[in-house]
Structure 1
Protein backbone atom coordinates (compact mmCIF):
# COMPACT_ATOMS: atom_id res chain seq x y z
CA UNK A 1 0.00 0.00 0.00
CA UNK A 2 2.66 2.48 1.03
CA UNK A 3 4.60 1.87 -2.17
CA UNK A 4 1.52 2.91 -4.18
CA UNK A 5 1.54 6.45 -2.75
CA UNK A 6 3.54 8.75 -5.00
CA UNK A 7 4.50 12.23 -3.80
CA UNK A 8 6.37 14.04 -6.60
CA UNK A 9 9.70 15.78 -6.04
CA UNK A 10 9.45 19.47 -5.19
CA UNK A 11 11.35 21.81 -7.51
CA UNK A 12 11.16 25.58 -7.87
CA UNK A 13 9.89 26.21 -4.34
CA UNK A 14 12.33 27.68 -1.81
CA UNK A 15 12.47 29.02 1.71
CA UNK A 16 14.57 32.15 2.31
CA UNK A 17 15.53 33.98 5.47
CA UNK A 18 16.02 37.67 4.65
CA UNK A 19 17.47 40.48 6.77
CA UNK A 20 15.44 43.59 6.03
CA UNK A 21 14.60 46.98 7.46
CA UNK A 22 11.32 47.33 9.36
CA UNK A 23 9.93 50.83 8.73
CA UNK A 24 7.43 50.64 11.60
CA UNK A 25 9.90 49.74 14.38
CA UNK A 26 13.01 51.09 12.62
CA UNK A 27 14.92 47.84 13.17
CA UNK A 28 16.73 45.25 11.06
CA UNK A 29 14.59 42.10 11.18
CA UNK A 30 15.06 38.55 9.89
CA UNK A 31 11.96 37.28 8.07
CA UNK A 32 11.21 33.90 6.51
CA UNK A 33 9.64 33.77 3.04
CA UNK A 34 8.32 31.02 0.80
CA UNK A 35 9.16 31.52 -2.87
CA UNK A 36 7.25 30.00 -5.78
CA UNK A 37 9.63 30.17 -8.75
CA UNK A 38 7.39 27.81 -10.76
CA UNK A 39 5.25 28.74 -13.77
CA UNK A 40 2.10 27.52 -12.01
CA UNK A 41 0.14 28.62 -8.95
CA UNK A 42 0.36 26.62 -5.72
CA UNK A 43 -2.86 25.88 -3.85
CA UNK A 44 -3.47 25.31 -0.15
CA UNK A 45 0.12 25.84 0.98
CA UNK A 46 0.58 24.67 4.57
CA UNK A 47 3.81 25.54 6.38
CA UNK A 48 4.74 24.09 9.77
CA UNK A 49 7.86 25.55 11.38
CA UNK A 50 9.83 24.69 14.47
CA UNK A 51 13.32 24.97 15.90
CA UNK A 52 15.24 22.29 17.73
CA UNK A 53 18.59 21.21 19.16
CA UNK A 54 19.69 18.39 21.44
CA UNK A 55 18.40 20.22 24.51
CA UNK A 56 15.83 22.74 23.23
CA UNK A 57 12.67 22.74 21.15
CA UNK A 58 10.55 25.72 20.14
CA UNK A 59 6.82 25.77 19.88
CA UNK A 60 5.34 24.84 16.52
CA UNK A 61 4.08 27.58 14.20
CA UNK A 62 1.58 26.88 11.42
CA UNK A 63 0.64 29.05 8.46
CA UNK A 64 -1.76 28.48 5.58
CA UNK A 65 -1.65 30.32 2.27
CA UNK A 66 -4.72 29.66 0.13
CA UNK A 67 -2.96 30.44 -3.16
CA UNK A 68 0.67 31.32 -3.90
CA UNK A 69 0.69 32.67 -7.47
CA UNK A 70 3.38 31.65 -9.95
CA UNK A 71 6.66 33.58 -9.77
CA UNK A 72 5.76 35.13 -6.40
CA UNK A 73 6.63 34.94 -2.72
CA UNK A 74 4.94 35.39 0.66
CA UNK A 75 6.20 36.22 4.14
CA UNK A 76 5.93 33.33 6.58
CA UNK A 77 7.15 34.76 9.87
CA UNK A 78 9.60 36.96 11.76
CA UNK A 79 12.51 34.98 13.18
CA UNK A 80 14.35 36.14 16.28
CA UNK A 81 18.15 35.93 16.11
CA UNK A 82 18.28 33.74 19.25
CA UNK A 83 16.73 30.94 17.16
CA UNK A 84 19.70 30.85 14.77
CA UNK A 85 21.55 28.69 17.33
CA UNK A 86 18.92 26.00 16.67
CA UNK A 87 18.09 23.93 13.60
CA UNK A 88 15.10 25.68 12.01
CA UNK A 89 12.77 23.42 10.07
CA UNK A 90 10.03 24.37 7.60
CA UNK A 91 7.69 21.56 6.51
CA UNK A 92 5.84 22.65 3.38
CA UNK A 93 2.87 20.86 1.80
CA UNK A 94 0.92 22.17 -1.19
CA UNK A 95 -1.18 21.18 -4.17
CA UNK A 96 -0.18 21.77 -7.76
CA UNK A 97 -3.07 20.73 -9.94
CA UNK A 98 -4.36 17.46 -8.47
CA UNK A 99 -0.98 16.38 -7.07
CA UNK A 100 0.13 16.89 -3.49
CA UNK A 101 3.74 17.92 -2.86
CA UNK A 102 5.64 17.80 0.42
CA UNK A 103 9.15 18.89 1.38
CA UNK A 104 11.07 19.70 4.55
CA UNK A 105 13.54 22.59 4.42
CA UNK A 106 16.12 22.77 7.22
CA UNK A 107 18.41 25.64 8.14
CA UNK A 108 21.15 24.02 10.22
CA UNK A 109 22.17 25.78 13.41
CA UNK A 110 24.35 28.86 12.96
CA UNK A 111 23.95 28.87 9.15
CA UNK A 112 21.70 31.94 9.16
CA UNK A 113 24.04 34.91 9.33
CA UNK A 114 25.10 37.94 7.31
CA UNK A 115 28.16 36.10 5.93
CA UNK A 116 25.91 33.48 4.29
CA UNK A 117 23.76 35.92 2.31
CA UNK A 118 23.23 35.14 -1.37
CA UNK A 119 20.83 36.41 -4.06
CA UNK A 120 17.25 35.31 -3.39
CA UNK A 121 15.24 34.20 -6.46
CA UNK A 122 12.47 36.65 -7.48
CA UNK A 123 12.98 38.97 -4.52
CA UNK A 124 15.95 41.10 -5.66
CA UNK A 125 17.42 40.94 -2.15
CA UNK A 126 20.07 38.87 -0.42
CA UNK A 127 19.30 36.18 2.13
CA UNK A 128 19.95 32.61 3.20
CA UNK A 129 18.14 30.20 0.87
CA UNK A 130 17.32 26.49 1.16
CA UNK A 131 16.23 24.80 -2.05
Structure 2
Protein backbone atom coordinates (compact mmCIF):
# COMPACT_ATOMS: atom_id res chain seq x y z
CA UNK A 1 0.00 0.00 0.00
CA UNK A 2 2.73 2.47 0.87
CA UNK A 3 4.35 1.90 -2.50
CA UNK A 4 1.15 3.18 -4.14
CA UNK A 5 1.36 6.58 -2.44
CA UNK A 6 2.99 9.16 -4.67
CA UNK A 7 4.92 11.87 -2.85
CA UNK A 8 5.97 14.47 -5.44
CA UNK A 9 9.32 16.20 -5.06
CA UNK A 10 9.22 19.86 -4.07
CA UNK A 11 10.86 22.07 -6.68
CA UNK A 12 11.17 25.86 -6.91
CA UNK A 13 9.86 26.49 -3.41
CA UNK A 14 12.40 27.75 -0.88
CA UNK A 15 12.79 29.04 2.65
CA UNK A 16 15.37 31.75 3.27
CA UNK A 17 16.62 33.98 6.08
CA UNK A 18 16.96 37.61 4.97
CA UNK A 19 18.66 40.48 6.84
CA UNK A 20 16.50 43.62 6.72
CA UNK A 21 16.31 47.02 8.32
CA UNK A 22 13.27 47.45 10.59
CA UNK A 23 12.09 51.07 10.36
CA UNK A 24 9.99 50.83 13.54
CA UNK A 25 12.88 49.65 15.71
CA UNK A 26 15.69 51.30 13.72
CA UNK A 27 17.67 48.05 13.69
CA UNK A 28 18.77 45.27 11.35
CA UNK A 29 17.02 41.96 11.90
CA UNK A 30 16.70 38.51 10.33
CA UNK A 31 13.36 37.35 8.91
CA UNK A 32 12.39 33.97 7.47
CA UNK A 33 10.59 33.97 4.10
CA UNK A 34 8.89 31.37 1.94
CA UNK A 35 9.58 31.78 -1.78
CA UNK A 36 7.37 30.42 -4.57
CA UNK A 37 9.49 30.38 -7.73
CA UNK A 38 7.00 28.09 -9.51
CA UNK A 39 4.88 29.04 -12.53
CA UNK A 40 1.71 28.22 -10.55
CA UNK A 41 0.25 29.41 -7.26
CA UNK A 42 0.73 27.33 -4.16
CA UNK A 43 -2.24 27.12 -1.81
CA UNK A 44 -3.17 26.18 1.76
CA UNK A 45 0.42 26.58 2.91
CA UNK A 46 1.08 25.24 6.39
CA UNK A 47 4.44 25.96 7.99
CA UNK A 48 5.56 24.48 11.31
CA UNK A 49 8.78 25.98 12.63
CA UNK A 50 10.98 25.19 15.60
CA UNK A 51 14.53 25.66 16.79
CA UNK A 52 16.53 22.94 18.50
CA UNK A 53 20.02 21.84 19.52
CA UNK A 54 20.46 18.99 21.95
CA UNK A 55 19.05 20.24 25.25
CA UNK A 56 17.68 23.54 23.94
CA UNK A 57 14.39 23.77 22.08
CA UNK A 58 12.09 26.64 21.14
CA UNK A 59 8.32 26.62 21.11
CA UNK A 60 6.73 25.18 17.99
CA UNK A 61 5.24 27.94 15.82
CA UNK A 62 2.51 27.32 13.25
CA UNK A 63 1.84 29.60 10.27
CA UNK A 64 -0.75 29.44 7.51
CA UNK A 65 -0.97 31.22 4.17
CA UNK A 66 -4.03 30.79 1.98
CA UNK A 67 -2.27 31.40 -1.34
CA UNK A 68 1.13 32.47 -2.67
CA UNK A 69 1.04 33.55 -6.33
CA UNK A 70 3.66 32.38 -8.85
CA UNK A 71 7.07 34.04 -8.55
CA UNK A 72 6.37 35.70 -5.21
CA UNK A 73 7.41 35.49 -1.57
CA UNK A 74 5.94 36.04 1.90
CA UNK A 75 7.39 36.65 5.34
CA UNK A 76 7.06 33.71 7.73
CA UNK A 77 8.51 35.07 10.95
CA UNK A 78 11.08 37.25 12.69
CA UNK A 79 14.21 35.36 13.77
CA UNK A 80 15.68 36.46 17.09
CA UNK A 81 19.47 36.46 17.21
CA UNK A 82 19.35 33.90 20.06
CA UNK A 83 17.64 31.26 17.90
CA UNK A 84 20.25 31.56 15.14
CA UNK A 85 22.60 29.51 17.35
CA UNK A 86 20.07 26.66 17.03
CA UNK A 87 19.00 24.54 14.07
CA UNK A 88 15.85 26.16 12.69
CA UNK A 89 13.51 23.73 10.96
CA UNK A 90 10.57 24.62 8.72
CA UNK A 91 8.14 21.85 7.77
CA UNK A 92 6.24 23.18 4.76
CA UNK A 93 3.10 21.56 3.33
CA UNK A 94 1.14 23.01 0.42
CA UNK A 95 -1.06 22.21 -2.58
CA UNK A 96 -0.19 22.90 -6.23
CA UNK A 97 -1.71 21.40 -9.38
CA UNK A 98 -4.19 19.46 -7.20
CA UNK A 99 -1.36 17.60 -5.44
CA UNK A 100 -0.07 17.86 -1.90
CA UNK A 101 3.63 18.62 -1.42
CA UNK A 102 5.73 18.46 1.71
CA UNK A 103 9.32 19.33 2.50
CA UNK A 104 11.38 20.09 5.59
CA UNK A 105 13.81 22.97 5.22
CA UNK A 106 16.71 23.49 7.64
CA UNK A 107 18.75 26.54 8.55
CA UNK A 108 21.65 24.87 10.35
CA UNK A 109 22.87 26.43 13.56
CA UNK A 110 25.29 29.35 13.21
CA UNK A 111 24.96 29.40 9.38
CA UNK A 112 22.72 32.47 9.25
CA UNK A 113 25.21 35.33 9.25
CA UNK A 114 26.00 38.40 7.18
CA UNK A 115 29.20 36.86 5.78
CA UNK A 116 27.24 33.86 4.36
CA UNK A 117 24.61 35.88 2.51
CA UNK A 118 24.12 35.22 -1.20
CA UNK A 119 21.66 36.15 -3.92
CA UNK A 120 18.39 34.34 -3.40
CA UNK A 121 15.50 33.78 -5.81
CA UNK A 122 12.98 36.64 -6.27
CA UNK A 123 13.79 38.67 -3.14
CA UNK A 124 15.84 41.75 -4.07
CA UNK A 125 18.04 41.30 -1.01
CA UNK A 126 20.76 38.89 -0.04
CA UNK A 127 20.10 36.08 2.41
CA UNK A 128 20.78 32.50 3.40
CA UNK A 129 18.80 29.67 1.76
CA UNK A 130 17.64 26.80 3.94
CA UNK A 131 18.66 23.31 2.84
TM-score (norm: length of structure 2): 0.97
Determine if the alignment matches structure 1 residue 43 to structure 2 residue 61: no
Q: Alpha-carbon deviations, 1:100-127, whole Å to 9, x = none?
A: 0000001111111111100111111100
Q: 1:27 is matched with which residue?
A: 27
Q: 1:16 is matched with which residue?
A: 16
Q: Distance in 2 between matches of 1:120 and 1:11?
A: 15
Q: Distance in 2 between matches of 1:119 and 1:46?
A: 25
**TM superposition shift of 1:42:** 0.2
Structure 2: gaps of 5 or more residues:
none
For the residue of structure 1 that corresponds to 2:111, the secondary structure is: coil
Structure 1: gaps of 5 or more residues:
none
TM-score (norm: length of structure 1): 0.97
For the residue of structure 2 that corresponds to 1:115, the secondary structure is: helix
Determine if the alignment matches structure 1 residue 103 to structure 2 residue 103: yes
Alignment of 1:74-89 (within 5 A): 74-89=74-89
Q: Matched residue pairs, number?
A: 131
Q: Distance in 1 between matches of 2:129 and 2:24?
A: 25
